[in-house]
Amino acid sequence: MLRIAVQSKGRLYDETMLLLEEAGIKLNRGKRILLLSAKGFPVELLFLRDDDIPQSVANGVADIGIVGENEYVEKGGEARLVRRLGFSKCRLSLAIPKNEEYKGVEWFEGKTIATSYPEVLRAYLKQNGVNAALHVISGSVEIAPGIGLADAIFDIVSSGSTLVSNRLKEVEVVLPCEALLIANNHLTEEKQAILNELLFRFEAIQLAEGKKYVLLNAPKERLHEIIELLPGMRSPTITPLVDEGWISVQSVIAEKHFWEIIGKLKALGAEGILVLPIEKMIV
């Protein structure tokens, strides 16, 4: 049995549970409890505060964990980083009052900065040769300048709306963050095998993200030009049609280039273009 530490609430919790569901891990849901087992796959979930996850994985209370990069970096790297998961993206940033003029990081010299991430901030200030006082608080960091506790803040920023509502502006991005999969350094062979299967499922989900499956009919004489637009995973699938001189083409394209590619395909004579979502992709 592999024990996974996950955040007990918030956006990271929601996206983690969605990932596990897409990976075929069905949970024995009932009354909300600290430890929850799964059906059909040998894992159990341990629900913790986000800042408790890195240490819980490092000391073996949990075997692996899904945690924000901000907490992993702040709490130290005693647990090993296994995979970047690509969701719950945000950033650790410095912000100052909106009406302050900012010309560079030297603005923070001699100032007081409120934060819940003192280790990350100390390293950044040292790297930039800035001497500032740190006021360490947990929660509601953004109100500190407004009530006179600090001159600036260092905190998690997602949309930036919280900064705006507190008349602050983001001036330095110190650490881009996302969800990470971390693991204890001393997993047994059995637990490592379960983790490997879990990673295989996660990879299949991640590979499918932002991609579409395309089927179309096209003139055979334009095949070379069409292949240049639709390389596929290795190469597109080509099937001759009953109508002589026509072929069917099947391939995978990135969603961000979808409309650009579809327009070019139509210009090359492609017809009957069918676009399908991809749930999983295994290579």
Do the domains 2-87+178-207 and 90-177 sit in the same CATH topology, yes or no? yes
Query: Which two tokens mark 5?
Result: 């530490």
36 against 83, higher pLDDT: 83
The sheet that has 43-48: what strands, in order across it? 26-27, 35-39, 43-48, 2-7, 64-68, 179-183, 80-84
CATH topology for 90-177 is D-Maltodextrin-Binding Protein; domain 2 (3.40.190)
Q: Is the pLDDT of residue 10 over 90?
A: no
pLDDT mean over 38-60: 92
* 132 pLDDT more than 90: yes
Average pLDDT over residues 179-199: 96
Cβ(130)–Cβ(106) below 8 Å: yes
Output b/e per residue, 78-91; b: 16+ Cβ within 10 A.
Answer: ebeebbebbbbebb
Delimit the domains of the chain by residue range: 2-87+178-207, 90-177, 210-277
Confidence of residue 233 (pLDDT cuts 50, 70, 90): low
Pairing of strands 90-97, 112-115: unpaired
Torsion of CA 102, 106, 107, 111, to 10 degrees: 160
Question: What sections of 209-279 are H helices per DSSP?
Answer: 223-229, 258-267
**Mean pLDDT highest for which of 26-40, 113-127, 138-152?**
113-127
- Cα separation, 283 vs 268, whole angstroms: 29
Average pLDDT score over the chain? 90
The pLDDT score that the predictor gives to residue 278 is 86
Which CATH number is 210-277's, of 3.40.50.2300, 3.40.1030.10, 3.40.50.720, 3.30.70.120?
A: 3.30.70.120
Distance from C-alpha of 72 to C-alpha of 64, rounded to nearest angstrom? 12
Q: What is the pLDDT of residues 12-42, one digit of tens each?
A: 999 999 999 999 998 876 556 788 888 889 9
Say whether pLDDT at 283 is over 80: no
Q: b/e per residue, 221-230, with b = 16+ CB within 10 A?
A: ebeeebeebb
- Render pLDDT for 242-251 as a digit per residue (tens, 0 to 9): 888 899 998 8
pLDDT of residue 234: 67
DSSP one-letter code for 244: T
Phi–psi pair at 80, nearest 5 degrees: -90, 145
At residue 195, what are phi and psi to the nearest 5 degrees? -60, -40
Residue bearing the bigger pLDDT, 229 or 171: 171
Reply yes or no on whether the pLDDT at 80 is more than 70.
Answer: yes
CATH topology for 2-87+178-207? D-Maltodextrin-Binding Protein; domain 2 (3.40.190)
Tokens representing 116 are: 């819940």
CB 276 within 8 A of CB 212: yes
User: Is 0.85 surpassed by the pTM of this model?
Assistant: no
Residue 232 has pLDDT above 70, yes or no: no
> Would you say residue 229 has pLDDT above 70?
yes
3-state secondary structure at position 150: coil
Distance CA(122)–CA(142), nearest Å, equals 19
